[in-house]
Structure 1
Amino acid sequence: MNTLERSGIILMGYYGHDNLGDDLLLLSTLMILKEANVKNEIYIPAPKNIEKLRKSFPKELKIKVIPRYNPYTLERYFHRSCCTIFGGGNLFQDETSTRSFLYYHFIAKRTLKRKNSLAFLSQGFGPIHKQRNRKHLKKILGNERSYGVIRDKVSYRYARRFSKNYQMGTDYGPYYLLKKKLITPNHEKDPELAFTVLKSGTSASEVVEALKYLGYRKLCAVGFHNSHDSQKQMELEDYAVNNGMEIIRPPQNIDGVMELLSKASIVVTERLHGAILATVQGTPFVWKKNRKTNRFVSSLVNDYCFSFNNSLESIVLAINGALRYDFDKLRATYLEKLDETVDRSIKLINKILD
């Protein structure tokens, strides 16, 4: 097969699973590929559910969705490709699933075995508990054909231990929304409105009691991963109603969700992209302590440390601290790093396709 026939790009991520954060990473990656003036075919291994996003794909790109888990189909498209791009997320981790780690390792390993380039864009790494998996990742990161723009300092320092091919960046998930002018920071916040993005690890009763104690009267509970977060969303709404709070139903479209997030005076989140979207919308946020969000925030500034555990006191203290913080400074820092990340990503894409 000649070089012209091997010019496709395999674009990898946790796409098409009704996870708002990962779907935004896909749309932002495609926006960046468009701005890099990519003419190559783009192959996205994903479930059929991803077709719901197709109307938002840039019309200028040639995109083909292929079966995610069919090894014969994947091998056929490896033959047609010149590089693989991992577009956003913390894909190389074995805390939630070793099977998932091994799947992404297989994709990376096959890419490099074919002497194709491998790019990690807006990526973080870990946590990785199994020694064998750490060895796998070390070998991938240390390959001379592996490159990356990494989204947090911990992952960046880790990757740089094995190669100088990595640059520092941030998570570019909201880039698509910014380009589509769906980010509209609102400085006239509703002091009674709280916006939550929680999953199974946070006590709904403690969050509601903390918000009620601090004077919040309205709650908008949103699930960013439809199949996983809906139960927690209902639980929050039940507790809120029983405590006399008004429920603001989240819109079914991203435009409406972003508008509500902009109006809220506080965001309480357990998901990383709840924190990132709050940042870009200029809304103070607090988060249930976890590695991904800790790393994101500490990679921006050193003094925004308003995470909480499941106690009422911890949540109240975190919210009070966040509301006193100069949030315009945090937003400006993120937007500056976002611009740098996009610029470095475009240059890296052009480099590996040259």
Structure 2
Amino acid sequence: MTRRIAIAGWFGSDNLGDELILQSLIRSIKARGAEPVAISIDPTGTSRDHGIATIIHRNPSQSMALRRALEQCDGMAIAGGLIQSETSPWNIPFHTSRLRSAPHRCPAAAVGMGVGHVHGRLGRSLARHSLRRLARIVVRDSDSARRLRSWGLHDVAVGTDPVMTLEPELVEPADTMCVILRPANQRGLRTAAAKAERSTPSPAVLDGIARAIDDAADAAGLAVRFVAFQAGRDGPLHTELADRTGAPAEVVAPTLGNVIAEVGRSRVVVTMRYHGAVAALLHGRPAVLLANSPKMAALAGEAGGWARLLDPSRLEGPELAAAVSGALDARNRATDARDDLRARLAVNDGALDELVGHAG
């Protein structure tokens, strides 16, 4: 009988980074002879886009229905940057409710999970208690491991983001600079699903960012390509900026099937999106990471610092041009970091092997 492995993350939104995580885990689970089942906030869309069975779970009130569905599963893999309250205090209750819903006969493992800042004792206590339920905890970076160990969770291994398993389409880079920006997250009591509306910076700020992008591209002799990882949020911001740049800029709205290739078509990547940086790594492209959250600093620091790190508050000034120049000068570090992270996929694989084998 085919084993069924549920996959838990932030799936079913228009965020291509999270959908890439799901895509990679689907392939890894199928390669082990098991059937993947996604827990999704939009099960119809997830089934359409990935061709697999789904379980709906949009909020903790659906946890009893989730538990009944998980009774039919043999294990659960958890991935993505789930353990953080940087954007909403509801993140921890929402994602840990899935762990608490899993019956004891359904073993669970974290596979390349990210751990960010968790505000308050209650949030940390809830996260710690829920994560103790995991048979294996594999995180995607050493910073995540340090946070968990500081909470008393010592049996933690460092793997990498599951998207590192994907083999990108080989594309030749054009003389362009890929720019991936997002509106600032607004922390508050609303759930992430309720924060779909855009929050565009003021015209003065947009003008400053556009000038900095122009200066960086001109100094490097490159044209500008904006690539959206979340069309509903990134797209309007990119359009506003493209209208303000001195030279014509291309605005790209990629799909799940081509987003990694679209990033690879440029010689250097400037990104606020974590998986924009992962896509750059997969192609061995140098990058400037805008450190809007701890995960960006952790990723930039891999392999001794493969990417330049820039505070988003400095995006309107001359620092962007200097960072892009520095990234291009150190372009060979990207391939070293990619090789290091892919070597750590063996840790992810061990957790999946154990999970699927235990499920059998």
Q: 1:113-139, CA deviations, whole angstroms, 9 ceiling, x for partnerless residues?
A: 635322111101121002101011122
- Measure, in 1, the Cα distance between the counterparts of 2:210 and 2:174: 17
CA drift at 1:342: 4.3
Candidates 137, 151, 174, aligned match of 1:190: 174
What is the root-mean-square deviation in Å for CA atoms of aligned residues?
2.7
Whether contact under 8 Å (2:281, 2:338) holds in the other structure is: yes
Whether contact under 8 Å (2:138, 2:159) holds in the other structure is: yes
Question: TM-score, with normalisation over the residues of structure 1?
Answer: 0.83
1:60: which partner in 2?
A: none
2:18: which partner in 1?
A: 22
Whether contact under 8 Å (2:5, 2:356) holds in the other structure is: no
Change (3 A) 1:15 1:318: same
Whether contact under 8 Å (1:140, 1:146) holds in the other structure is: no
Q: 1:296-346, CA deviations, whole angstroms, 9 ceiling, x for partnerless residues?
A: 232x22233511133322212211111111233233323333x42443243
Aligned residue runs from structure 1 range 1-354, under 5 A? 8-39=4-35, 42=37, 44-47=39-42, 48-55=44-51, 63-69=53-59, 70-86=62-78, 88-111=79-102, 114=104, 116-143=106-133, 145-160=134-149, 162-176=152-166, 178=167, 182-184=168-170, 186=172, 189-191=173-175, 193-201=176-184, 204-214=206-216, 215=218, 216=221, 218-240=223-245, 243=246, 245-250=247-252, 252-254=254-256, 256-289=258-291, 290-298=293-301, 300-304=302-306, 306-309=308-311, 310-311=313-314, 312-325=317-330, 326=332, 327-337=334-344, 339-354=345-360
Change (3 A) 1:117 1:256: closer
CA drift at 1:96: 1.1
Q: Secondary structure, in 3 states, of the residue corresponding to 2:90?
A: helix
Give the length in aligned residue pairs.
328
- Measure, in 1, the Cα distance between the counterparts of 2:114 and 2:25: 15
Unaligned runs of 5+ in 2: 185-200
Change (3 A) 1:195 1:101: same
- Measure, in 1, the Cα distance between the counterparts of 2:149 and 2:282: 28
2:196: which partner in 1?
A: none
- Measure, in 2, the Cα distance between the counterparts of 1:166 and 1:313: 40
- Measure, in 1, the Cα distance between the counterparts of 2:92 and 2:153: 21
- Measure, in 2, the Cα distance between the counterparts of 1:36 and 1:151: 21
CA drift at 1:276: 0.7
2:141 partner letter: D
Question: TM-score, with normalisation over the residues of structure 2?
Answer: 0.81
Q: Secondary structure, in 3 states, of the residue corresponding to 1:246?
A: coil
Q: Secondary structure, in 3 states, of the residue corresponding to 1:239?
A: coil
Change (3 A) 1:52 1:205: farther
Change (3 A) 1:305 1:10: closer
CA drift at 1:220: 1.4
Change (3 A) 1:52 1:78: closer
